[in-house]
Amino acid sequence: MNVLTHTLPITLQQARKAQRLSQLELSLRVGVSQRHVSFVESGRAKPSRDLLMTWLQELDAPLVVRNAAMLQAGYAPAYSAAPLNDPVLAQANQAMIELLQAHDPMPAFVLDAQWNLLHFNKGGGWLAATLMPWAANLPPGTPMNMLDMLAHPEGLTKQMLNLKEVGPALLAHLRDDASVQPALTPKVEAFAAMLRTRLGMQSLHSGWPRQNAPVLTTRFATVHGELAFFSMF
């Protein structure tokens, strides 16, 4: 499913619910009545371009979602889009490569909004080869997606020591992402299916729903001993 196939009301509803805002809270933020928010979300009214830009800004919607909403409303996209290897992004691309190199030997990766792996440093390559030795045999340039690697039976979670703690929390974060970027949904649900197989339905949903923690510590068993990393959301 792609956000571009949605209607504007569905896109705006999903973006608002992803932020856990009521229509009243959103109306106060954008300076219109709750009635008008309801009318826009039901398709009975169309927001002006300026109001729509403010609306999406208040929802902290990803830029790809903002562009899709503008098109759905009949306006020109507000932001340009280009792959990382496009000449227009050469300076930004080089800056990220230098940042990755400076982070060595600690592992570091550059991912896009779809969780495709764009760059990694030597530490990142070492970590991937340590956790997924089979990945070292893939042909150079093989596309890699981190969500696929999470769901893969021989992927990143195979040697995870605290999957019971990390898995449900990470799934909650990923479903938040997918609520505003529906293209992620199949990969996120593949990860959920893997968790159900590994943890069981009861463990996966124990204490659900829970507050998403901003910091998540992940521990792995490796031939080098236990490795621990923290992620910030």
Nearest to 9 by CA among 33, 35, 45, 34: 45
Please report, rounded to a whole number, the percentage of residues in the chain having pLDDT higher than 90: 69
Band (161; pLDDT cuts 50, 70, 90): very high
Structural contact between residues 66 and 23, judged by C-beta atoms closer than 8 angstroms: no
Instruction: Report strand pairing: 109-111 vs 225-232.
Output: unpaired
Q: Indicate whether 4 pLDDT > 70.
A: no
185 confidence band (pLDDT: 50, 70, 90): very high
> At a CB cut-off of 8 Å and minimum separation 6, what does 176 contact?
18, 212
As a whole number of angstroms, the distance between CA 71 and CA 57 comes to 16
**Could you tell me which residues come within 8 angstroms of residue 54 by beta carbon, excluding any fewer than 6 positions away?**
30, 31
φ/ψ of 227, rounded to 5, equals -115, 140
Residue 120 · residue 107 · CB < 8 Å: yes
Q: In the structure encoding, which two tokens stand for residue 104, read together?
A: 């060595």
Place of tokens 């970590």: 127
| pLDDT top residue among 101 and 178 | 101
Q: Looking at the domain covering 3-72, what would its CATH class be?
A: mainly alpha
The DSSP call for residue 102 is: H
Domain limits, the chain? 3-72, 84-142, 145-233
Residue 211 has pLDDT above 60, yes or no: no
Q: What letters, b where the CB count within 10 A reaches 16 and e where it falls short, cover 146-181?
A: bbbbbbbeebbbebbeebeebbbbbbbbbbbbbbbb
* Alpha carbon distance 194, 151 (integer Å): 6
What confidence score (pLDDT) does residue 206 get?
52
**Burial grade of 88 (CB within 10 A; 0-12, 13-18, 19 or more):** exposed
Confidence of residue 84 (pLDDT cuts 50, 70, 90): confident
Give the pLDDT band of residue 197 (cuts 50, 70, 90): very high
